[in-house]
């Protein structure tokens, strides 16, 4: 039986090539016309702690992760211990033969909380295991295929072929060997894997050669030793004419920003935001479309690594004042430092953009793990009242288009704009039809590059909309002033009560205008039929899991629809009220403890969302657990507040 819907996982110590093996795996699948969804999990550690990549492969688009693994690919003991229970009943485990004798209690990187939980599961499953081998035997009994590989022999063979006497130099090939075993078992088209290796190591010909050899040897090993392959199942390629990319959230944001005209990016290193800035810096010079640019061939972005996040946002504001589209990119701890600067930008109507990647919080929290804890924070951050835009993307494709729009909103309404994403989006890799750049339209609002009338320019001129014509620093025949103090129309300090009232109203008015003008299609998505037994309300990255869970529910005959709120501020309250007041059951799904969106919905519409599905353990929601949770609600078996806990 051929298949093209499959969940593969590779685990191993950080620094052992898990990422590159997963990258090759995902690319090779894509080259074969398949879609992939790869979720990366890692510790806040450089080398040694456990990391893994969970990759779903399908001939259709994949939007979320699932809880099971069809084929678990490992080369260390810890990965077996951590993930053995996730392997589906007729799935497989690839492991190093040598780990069988390893005592579980000897694996030093397994933490006390993990072992406690592990013990509970073993008791529940009535398994007694002292060694990894005991665990593997238990798995075998439940129908899992165990492929114990003599990795050391494979490495020795490779060493002989290459003529490298030092085996230690070749141990890092273990990731590709395990990958080759995976593909060998699946009898997947080797040419696709070779193409992936050649692309990924394009600038390292020797590495390509070694990887190719390892791959051949692994396929050969499977032929000779593991005849019959994996449960007689092949992973089959499919034909496609679609032009596709394999893209991570941070890359989608970076590309969207370049397209959106971002020409200054400032940042201070922080996980998981920094990848975006590094990607931008690596592409600091790019081509322009000569027909649009007026013949200009090259554009560029200046990426500045600042001394801290305080400097980062204020440098970006300085650049925005000079007329460039400017942004900074950060995560929770960094944004905490930026809030004073955000308030200044609000007060001075500066169109500065912040790309905000949430992660588990508070404080340092879970630096490399997922969370959606900061919704309340971003809409209220900084003292006082000032307008801002907050836009939250639900998937990687939205990250791209929203990155463009965030700049438009910032400039049109002359206020700081925050593009809210998270770790799950940043570090997930997904295949997509190539993004349509013709959909992007830049709007710069009332930005002028020259002054036409002769009266003295007023940067904060009172207007009906509250929006004043804006000029960059350096514009001839004019000057203006800015200050964080309350100011008059020229930008000079003023504490006069009448002026204060008018200025507050002027600034806040812009939010009303934005609320009125921004089309609803850019602010919400609605999925499903208007009539449904339940309406899910959510924001951000749970989108994919929700859509996949809905599909499964509909296969069982349930009718569920989904309101995804993308613009959190200004809140699309009329639309949300309309949809939610006709909903039969209202379920909020989000990745935080206190159901922050639900409280905002209540504040903005007066409507109560009766059912909470929440998760805050650092791992993205899977469509499986969400399906279970929604079903409990539909069958009236759920408590008001369900907390999801899966993830490893």
Partner 1 sequence: MALNVADYRSNVFVDWCPGCGDYGILAALQMALAELQLPPHRVAVFSGIGCHAKTPHFVNTYGVHTLHGRTLPFAVGAKLANPELEVIAVGGDGDGLGIGVGHFVNTGRRNVDIIYLIHDNGVYGLTKGQASPTLKFGLKTKSLPKPNINDAVNPIALALTSGYTFIARGYAYDVSHLKEMIKRGIEHRGLALVVVLQPCPTYNNINTKEWYRGEDRADPATGKPRSRLYKLEETGYDPKVHSQETDMSKTISALKKAREWGDKIPIGVFYQNEAVPTYDERISMRIPHYREKPPAKQKICNEAGAPTTDLTALFDELRVT
Looking at the Cβ atoms of 120 and 439, the one nearer to partner 1 is: 439
Q: How far is the CB of 260 from partner 1 (least distance, A)?
A: 7
Q: How far is the CB of 404 from partner 1 (least distance, A)?
A: 8
Q: How far is the CB of 340 from partner 1 (least distance, A)?
A: 6
CB atoms under 10 Å from CB of 56, counted, come to 27
Looking at the Cβ atoms of 160 and 443, the one nearer to partner 1 is: 443
Q: Do residues 256 and 432 touch, judged by C-beta distance below 8 A?
A: no
Phi and psi for 324 in degrees, rounded to 5? -85, 150
Looking at the Cβ atoms of 112 and 476, the one nearer to partner 1 is: 476
Q: How far is the CB of 172 from partner 1 (least distance, A)?
A: 25
Q: How far is the CB of 251 from partner 1 (least distance, A)?
A: 7
Q: What is the 3-state secondary structure (H, E, C) of 106-149?
A: HCCCCCHHHHHHHHHHHHHHCCCCCEHHHHHHHHHHCCCEEEEE
Distance CA 525, CA 566 (A): 7
Looking at the Cβ atoms of 149 and 246, the one nearer to partner 1 is: 246
Looking at the Cβ atoms of 263 and 602, the one nearer to partner 1 is: 263
Q: What is the 3-state secondary structure (H, E, C) of 552-577?
A: HHHHCCCCEEEEEECEEECCCHHHHH
Q: How far is the CB of 281 from partner 1 (least distance, A)?
A: 9
Looking at the Cβ atoms of 321 and 568, the one nearer to partner 1 is: 321
Distance CA 486, CA 497 (A): 10
DSSP label at 447? B
Q: Do residues 21 and 179 touch, judged by C-beta distance below 8 A?
A: yes
Looking at the Cβ atoms of 474 and 606, the one nearer to partner 1 is: 474
Looking at the Cβ atoms of 341 and 542, the one nearer to partner 1 is: 341
Taking the CA atoms of residue 108, residue 113, residue 116 and residue 120 in that order, the dihedral angle to the nearest 10 degrees is -120
Looking at the Cβ atoms of 39 and 76, the one nearer to partner 1 is: 39
Question: Cα Rg for the chain, rounded, in angstroms?
Answer: 27
Q: How far is the CB of 622 from partner 1 (least distance, A)?
A: 24
Phi and psi for 438 in degrees, rounded to 5? -70, -15
Distance CA 271, CA 275 (A): 8
DSSP SS3 for 237: coil
Q: Evaluate the omega torsion of the peptide bond into residue 195 and state whether it is cis, within 30 degrees of 0.
A: no
Distance CA 598, CA 615 (A): 14
Q: How far is the CB of 324 from partner 1 (least distance, A)?
A: 4
Q: How far is the CB of 326 from partner 1 (least distance, A)?
A: 7
Q: Evaluate the omega torsion of the peptide bond into residue 272 and state whether it is cis, within 30 degrees of 0.
A: yes
Q: How far is the CB of 9 from partner 1 (least distance, A)?
A: 20
Looking at the Cβ atoms of 231 and 236, the one nearer to partner 1 is: 236
Written as six digits, the tokens of 278 are 């590094």
Distance CA 309, CA 184 (A): 48
What is the DSSP pairing of strand 262-267 with strand 325-331? parallel
């Amino acid at each position: 039986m051929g298949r093209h819907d499959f969940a593969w996982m590779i685990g191993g110590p950080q620094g052992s090539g898990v990422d590159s093996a997963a990258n090759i795996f995902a690319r090779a699948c894509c080259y074969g016309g398949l879609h992939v969804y790869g979720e990366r999990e890692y510790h806040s550690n450089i080398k040694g702690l456990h990391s893994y990549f969970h990759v779903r492969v399908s001939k259709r688009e994949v939007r979320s992760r699932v809880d099971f693994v069809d084929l678990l690919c490992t080369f260390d003991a810890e990965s077996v211990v951590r993930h053995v229970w996730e392997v589906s009943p007729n799935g497989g485990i690839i492991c190093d033969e040598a780990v069988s004798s390893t005592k579980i209690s000897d694996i030093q990187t397994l933490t006390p909380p993990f072992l406690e939980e592990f013990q509970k599961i073993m008791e529940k499953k009535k398994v007694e295991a002292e060694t990894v081998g005991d665990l593997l035997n238990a798995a075998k009994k439940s129908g899992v295929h165990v492929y114990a590989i003599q990795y050391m022999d494979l490495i020795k063979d490779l060493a002989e072929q290459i003529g490298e006497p030092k085996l230690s130099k070749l141990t890092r090939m273990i990731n590709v060997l395990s990958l080759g075993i995976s593909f060998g078992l699946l009898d997947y088209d080797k040419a696709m894997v070779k193409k992936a290796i050649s692309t990924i190591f394009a600038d390292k010909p020797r590495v390509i050669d070694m990887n190719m050899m390892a791959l051949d040897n692994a396929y050969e090993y499977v032929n000779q030793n593991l005849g019959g392959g994996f449960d007689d199942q092949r992973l089959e390629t499919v034909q496609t004419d679609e032009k596709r990319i394999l893209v991570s959230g941070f890359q989608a944001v970076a590309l969207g920003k370049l397209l959106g005209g971002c020409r200054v990016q400032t940042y201070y290193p922080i996980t998981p935001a920094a990848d975006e800035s590094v990607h931008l810096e690596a592409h600091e010079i790019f081509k322009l479309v000569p027909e649009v640019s007026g013949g200009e061939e090259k554009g560029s972005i200046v990426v500045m690594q600042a001394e801290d996040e305080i400097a980062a946002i204020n440098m970006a504001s300085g650049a925005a004042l000079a007329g460039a589209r400017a942004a900074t990119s950060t995560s929770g701890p960094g944004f905490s430092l930026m809030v004073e600067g955000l308030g200044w930008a609000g007060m001075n109507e500066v169109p500065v953009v912040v790309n905000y990647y949430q992660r588990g919080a508070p404080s340092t929290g879970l630096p490399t793990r997922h969370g959606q804890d900061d919704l309340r924070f971003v809409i209220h951050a900084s003292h006082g009242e000032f307008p801002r835009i907050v836009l939250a993307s639900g998937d990687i494709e939205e990250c791209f288009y929203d990155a463009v729009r965030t700049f438009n909103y910032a400039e049109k309404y002359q206020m700081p704009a925050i593009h809210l994403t998270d770790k799950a989006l940043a570090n997930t890799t997904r295949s997509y039809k190539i993004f349509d750049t013709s959909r992007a339209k830049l709007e710069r609002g009332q930005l002028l590059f020259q002054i036409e009338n002769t009266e003295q320019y007023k940067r904060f001129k009172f207007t009906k909309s509250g929006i004043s014509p804006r000029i960059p620093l350096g514009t001839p025949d004019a000057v203006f002033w800015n200050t964080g103090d309350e100011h008059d129309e020229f930008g000079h300090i003023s504490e006069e009560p009448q002026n204060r009232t008018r200025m507050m109203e002027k600034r806040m008015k812009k939010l009303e205008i934005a609320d009125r003008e921004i089309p609803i299609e850019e602010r919400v998505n609605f999925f499903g039929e208007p009539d449904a037994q339940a309406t899910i309300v959510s924001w951000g990255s749970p989108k994919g899991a929700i859509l996949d869970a809905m599909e499964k529910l509909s296969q069982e005959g349930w009718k569920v629809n989904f309101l995804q709120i993308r613009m959190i501020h200004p809140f699309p309250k009329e639309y949300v009220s309309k949809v939610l007041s006709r909903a039969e059951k209202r379920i909020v799904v989000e990745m935080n403890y206190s159901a922050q969106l639900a409280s905002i919905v209540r504040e903005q519409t007066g409507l109560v969302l009766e059912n909470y599905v929440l998760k805050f353990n650092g791992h993205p929601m899977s469509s499986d657990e969400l399906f279970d949770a929604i079903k409990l609600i539909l069958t009236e078996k759920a408590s008001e507040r369900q907390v999801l806990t899966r993830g490893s």
